[in-house]
């Protein structure tokens, strides 16, 4: 009976190992998807702002003023929200890696346990990028107030 329990336990660990590896891979795919949205939205907002600058030409209509104020606000909001989402996905990936490393007799895939409460290298890069974009959009917002 003991052998059967141990066999089931090893089987369950194999299944758990496969599922955790799959979850880690899915998290990576999610992070890539959110990064594409992040970059696409920021690029789209920059193109829209460039279009407004080109069209402005001498007119300072109400619609132009609203556009010049709205685009930076939208840029800041999307930057902040999408960065939070990407960092959260990285933390979940860290939790799955920790769970994977807790399995007995599991092959060593990752050398160290990440701290899911602290951002890893990639998440830190996004947090730095967030501040660069927020400052950039804020400068554009202030400039649009006085022009």
- With CA atoms as reference, report the closest residue to 123 among 99, 91, 95: 91
Its pTM stands at 0.81
Q: Which helix (H) or strand (E) holds 106?
A: none
Neighbouring CB atoms inside 10 A of 143's CB total 11
- Residue 105: which pLDDT band, with cuts at 50, 70 and 90? low
Give the C-alpha separation, 26 to 142, whole Å: 40
The count of domains in the chain is 1
37, two tokens: 């949205």
Give the C-alpha separation, 59 to 63, whole Å: 10
- State which residues form the domain around 35: 2-145
Question: Tens of pLDDT along 50-100?
Answer: 888 887 655 567 778 888 889 999 999 999 999 999 999 999 988 888 888
């Amino acid at each position: 009976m003991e052998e059967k329990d141990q066999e089931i336990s090893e089987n369950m660990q194999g299944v758990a190992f496969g599922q955790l590896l799959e979850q880690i891979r899915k998290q990576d795919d999610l992070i890539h998807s959110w990064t594409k949205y992040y970059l696409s939205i920021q690029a789209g907002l920059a193109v829209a702002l460039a279009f407004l600058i080109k069209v402005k030409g001498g007119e300072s209509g109400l619609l132009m003023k609203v556009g010049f104020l709205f685009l930076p606000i939208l840029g800041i909001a999307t930057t902040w929200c999408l960065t939070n989402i990407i960092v959260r996905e990285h933390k979940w990936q860290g939790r799955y890696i920790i769970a994977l490393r807790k399995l007995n007799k599991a092959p060593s895939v990752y050398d160290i346990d990440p701290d899911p409460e602290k951002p890893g290298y990639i998440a830190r890069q996004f947090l730095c990028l967030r501040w660069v974009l927020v400052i950039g959009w804020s400068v554009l917002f202030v400039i649009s107030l006085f022009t």
